């Protein structure tokens, strides 16, 4: 399988802090790649460079043959890059369905408070989108019954799955998940992992994820990149990374 994303020498600093130093990594198409590492290792910064939220000071990124770092962030979304956030970033006053529809209007997300998001598409398009969301997204994620409920008050696990739903409605090629398992009890983690796998099977998506939950990460991932103090200290398959002495010292040993 070919690489969908290749990073080389990515460097990012904030004043005196070196968040990323010369980070090189690749993400193989149709695989799950996990980025792990202790707090402050640079995982979210790396996501922010890929999605265009931060601008790298040095380095290159190629995505599907394109120079990613030269591509504006809204164009990256159109190229099929979708992400979720570490902290839940849903509209609590809107329904499950409305939140997912916002995800479908990637270009308008910069302008989320605009009512035109809902008035924009013609009625026929709107109905087709709703049907697609019902079949492609809500059903496999087990969210069909709560489709019209407001997000506020939904259990945490359902809100995390809704974030995945909102990213998936774009039919992304590269799905970036920032701590999808955080704060979940084991049954919810299993449901989330199953949902990610099912989208990979049916949608052919490539997944890049960050999480602290070693068991969940190891159970789902084909490839693991370990960051510490902004540097890649190990990369490889799950078995190799588990055995790596620097990883054990930096991360697994401390877990
Ligand atoms: N906007 C910013 N301004 C200043 N420093 C930042 C900014 N974003 C990240 N950093 C710093 O860069 C370093 C890497 O942070 P980052 O959030 O990428 O780590 P992380 O591995 O995602 O950590 P965590 O597991 O705690 O989320 C940290 O020292 C952090 O304080």
ipTM of the complex: 0.96
Q: Determine the residue of 13, 41, 183, 227 to mutate for testing ligand 1's pocket, defined as the one with the most ligand atoms within 8 A of the Cβ atom.
A: 41
For 214, the 3-state DSSP assignment is helix
Return the ligand 1 atom nearest residue 230 CA.
Answer: 14
For residues 11-36, average pLDDT:
95
Residue 35 in any domain: the answer is yes
Going by CA atoms, what residue is nearest to atom 5 of ligand 1? 14
Whether 133 maps to a domain, the answer reads no
Distance CA 230, CA 125 (A): 45
pLDDT at 157 over 50: yes
Q: What are phi and psi of 221, to 5 degrees?
A: -95, 145
User: What are the two backbone dihedrals, phi and then psi, of residue 28, each rounded to the nearest 5 degrees?
Assistant: -80, 140
Among residues of the chain, what percentage have pLDDT more than 90? 57
Q: Whose CA is nearest to atom 13 of ligand 1?
A: 19
What's the DSSP call for residue 39? T
Residues with CB under 6 A from ligand 1: 14, 17, 19, 37, 39-45, 86
Give the pLDDT mean for 194-213. Answer: 89
Residue 111: its pLDDT value, please? 42
What is the rounded average pLDDT of the residues 8-16? 95
Q: What is the mean pLDDT of residues 138-160?
A: 92
Centre of ligand 1 from the C-alpha of residue 47, in Å: 11
CB neighbour list of residue 229: distance below 8 Å, 6 or more residues apart: 18, 21, 40, 41, 42
Confidence at residue 86, expressed as pLDDT on a 0 to 100 scale? 78
Q: Residue 127 domain-assigned?
A: no
Average of per-residue pLDDT values in the chain: 88
CA of 44 to the centre of ligand 1 (A): 7
Q: How much is the pLDDT for 3?
A: 95
Distances (CA, A) of 190 to 1, 24, 49, 130, 140: 27, 31, 29, 27, 14
**Using an 8 Å Cβ cutoff, are 179 and 86 in contact?**
yes
| Phi, psi values for residue 67, rounded to 5° | -80, 100
pLDDT tier at 251, thresholds 50, 70, 90: low
Domain with 35 in it: 3-86+156-252
180 lies in some domain: yes
Protein residue whose Cα sits closest to atom 9 of ligand 1: 45
Q: Which of 10, 18, 19 to mutate to test the pocket of ligand 1 (most atoms within 8 A of CB)?
A: 19
Q: Give the E-state strand segments of the chain in sequence order.
A: 3-14, 17-28, 32-36, 58-63, 66-67, 81-83, 174-178, 206-210, 223-228, 231-236
If one compares 105 and 66, the residue with the highest pLDDT of the two is 66
Contacts within 8 Å (CB) and 24+ apart, 125-130 = 129/101, 129/104, 130/97, 130/101
CA distance 54 to 155: 32
Closest residue by Cα to residue 99 from 166, 158, 146, 147: 166
Residue in 35, 38, 44 to alter for ligand 1 test, most ligand atoms within 8 A of Cβ:
44
The whole-number average pLDDT for the span 183-190 is 88
Name which of 4-8, 42-46, 52-56, 110-114 the model is least confident about: 110-114
Long-range contacts of 112-117 (CB under 8 A, 24+ apart): none
pLDDT at 109: 44
- The answer to whether residue 135 scores a pLDDT higher than 80 is yes
CA-wise closest residue to 31 among 65, 3, 66, 68:
3
Give how many domains the chain has, as a whole number: 1
pLDDT, residue 114, reads 44
For residue 216, what pLDDT is reported?
Answer: 83
- For residue 144, being part of any structural domain is answered with no
CA of 19 to the centre of ligand 1 (A): 6
* 121 occurs within a structural domain: no
State the DSSP H helix or E strand holding residue 238, giving kind and residue range, or none if neither: helix 238-243
What is the CATH classification number for the domain harbouring 74? 3.40.50.300
Q: Summarize pLDDT for 77-120 with one digit per residue, the tens.
A: 889 999 988 777 889 999 999 999 987 875 444 444 444 455 55
Give the residue carrying structure tokens 């962030």: 73
Average pLDDT of the residues in 129-154: 92
Which pLDDT score, from 0 to 100, does residue 110 have?
41
List, in order, residues 6 or more apart from 35 with CB less than 8 Å away.
25, 43, 46, 47, 208, 209, 210, 224, 225, 226, 227
Task: Supply the pLDDT for residue 29.
Answer: 95
Q: Is residue 132 a part of any domain in this protein?
A: no
Does residue 218 form part of some domain? yes
């Amino acid at each position: 399988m070919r690489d969908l994303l290749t990073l080389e020498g990515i460097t990012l600093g904030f004043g005196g802090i070196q968040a990323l130093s010369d980070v090189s990594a690749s993400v193989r198409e149709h695989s799950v790649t996990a980025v792990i590492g202790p707090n402050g290792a640079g995982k979210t910064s790396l996501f922010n460079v890929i999605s265009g939220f931060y601008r790298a000071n040095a380095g290159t990124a190629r995505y599907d043959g394109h120079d990613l770092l030269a591509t504006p962030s809204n164009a990256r979304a159109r190229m099929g890059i979708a992400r979720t956030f570490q902290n839940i970033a849903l509209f609590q006053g809107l329904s499950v369905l409305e939140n997912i529809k916002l995800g479908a209007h990637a270009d308008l997300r910069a302008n989320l408070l605009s009512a035109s998001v809902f008035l924009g598409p013609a009625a026929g398009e709107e109905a087709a989108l709703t049907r697609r969301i019902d079949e492609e997204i809500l059903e496999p994620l087990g969210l069909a019954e709560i489709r019209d409920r407001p997000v506020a008050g939904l259990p945490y696990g359902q809100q995390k799955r809704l974030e995945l739903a909102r990213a998936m409605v774009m039919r992304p090629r590269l799905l970036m998940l920032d701590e999808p398992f955080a704060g979940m009890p084991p049954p919810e983690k299993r449901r989330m992992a199953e949902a990610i796998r099912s989208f990979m099977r049916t949608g052919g998506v490539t997944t890049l994820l960050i999480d602290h939950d070693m068991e969940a990460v190891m159970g789902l991932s084909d490839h693991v990149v370990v960051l510490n103090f902004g540097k890649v200290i190990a990369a490889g398959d799950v078995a190799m990374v588990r055995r790596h002495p620097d990883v054990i010292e930096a991360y697994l040993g401390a877990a």
